[in-house]
Amino acid sequence: MPRRKLGPRVVGVYPRGRRWRVVFVSEDGQREEETFEDEGRAHRRAAWLEEHLRVPLELEEAIERYKQELTSRGNRSHSIDKTISRLGYLLGECPLEQLDLQEMYDRRREVVAADSHRRELSEAKSFLRWCVSKGWLPKAALAEINKVKPKGKKRAGPASKPQLRIDEARLWMDEALRLARAGNEGGLGPLLTLLLALRKGEVQGLRRRDVDDNGRLLWVDGTKSENARRTIEVPDVLRPLLCEQAERVEGPSLWIHTGTNWIYNWTRRICERAGVPSVCPQSMRGLQSSLARGAGVTGHAVAAQLGHGSVEMHEQAYADPAAVEAGQRQVALKVLQGGK
């Protein structure tokens, strides 16, 4: 698809000694400038140019260029896909200059949870500010963008993501293993959120080369921070499945599936097949944490496995408080009994 020229657009007003220059890009892409002795006159000229010379840009084209920008920054493909999806959910389809962010956000708040619409708003504001920096929106649009404030309270802690009971988790795992052993990566991918406590994005970002030492080790680059980069020892039940998956696929990715929601969708699908309550991948990750703490594993060990930098974050966001207390009591009792 041939790219449409953006047309004349103002790049900025810059000081030059005691004068001010207005820089704009002409129809053929050439940079031109005018100089003024008065800053106010320079800004009035820039405003006039923005009003009369700028060619409206379609939202779809702007988002496509933003995607290229994120790629050039080195963002991971699954992270970029999530960003683009959130922009689509909130902004819909219309000319870029006709966007009413407040109206669109208010409408979106009525249909999705606070966690979702707050993330979408954050992504949209970053995108629109970038559009202003490119000259595709007037600088005056920044004030309107900044006026839109997130509403609602984010959910936090284990109560926000209900977890399966132990018997239910066993049924879920049996069904996931059955699918994985049949060669269905829709069973194997979600299993990694439960048995290895990986984030959904971390699972989707795995590459064939990350399955190492004949499946004994799994290298995780992480999706959030330096603490999320880690090497995990793979339990015996997963080793042959990961090795078979790495041999089955072609290309660098460990998975045939693409997109941002397949782990989520398969986690829910396995719940339905196993006849257990429907939960999300992050809930499975939290369940692994709660079970580990309940068995007496220290908070530092679990936090490291989960890819967190602090025990506090792990206990606040993932572990069931009762399991944390029980694990702490068990560790304390073991110390008191001389390590027996």
Write out the E strands in the chain: 9-16, 19-25, 31-36, 211-212, 217-220, 230-233
Note whether 150 and 109 are within 8 A (CB): no
Q: What is the pLDDT of residue 306?
A: 40
List the one residue out of 58, 62, 127 whose CA is nearest residue 90.
127
Is residue 335 classed as helix, strand or coil in its secondary structure? Answer: helix
Buried b (16+ CB within 10 A) or exposed e, 256-293: ebeebebbbebbbbbbebbebeebbbbbbbbbbbbbbb
The token pair that represents 285 in the structure block: 């990750």
The token pair that represents 2 in the structure block: 């041939």
Work out the percent of the chain whose per-residue pLDDT is above 70.
Answer: 74
Tell me how many degrees the CA angle 87-90-92 measures, rounded to the nearest 5: 85
pLDDT band of 154, cuts 50, 70, 90:
low
**What radius of gyration, in Å, describes the C-alpha atoms of the chain?**
26
pLDDT band of 249, cuts 50, 70, 90:
very high
> What rounded mean pLDDT belongs to the chain?
78
Res 257 pLDDT > 80: yes
pLDDT digits (tens, 9 = 90+) for 62-111: 899 899 999 888 887 778 888 998 899 898 877 777 788 999 999 999 88
pLDDT digits (tens, 9 = 90+) for 183-193: 999 999 998 88
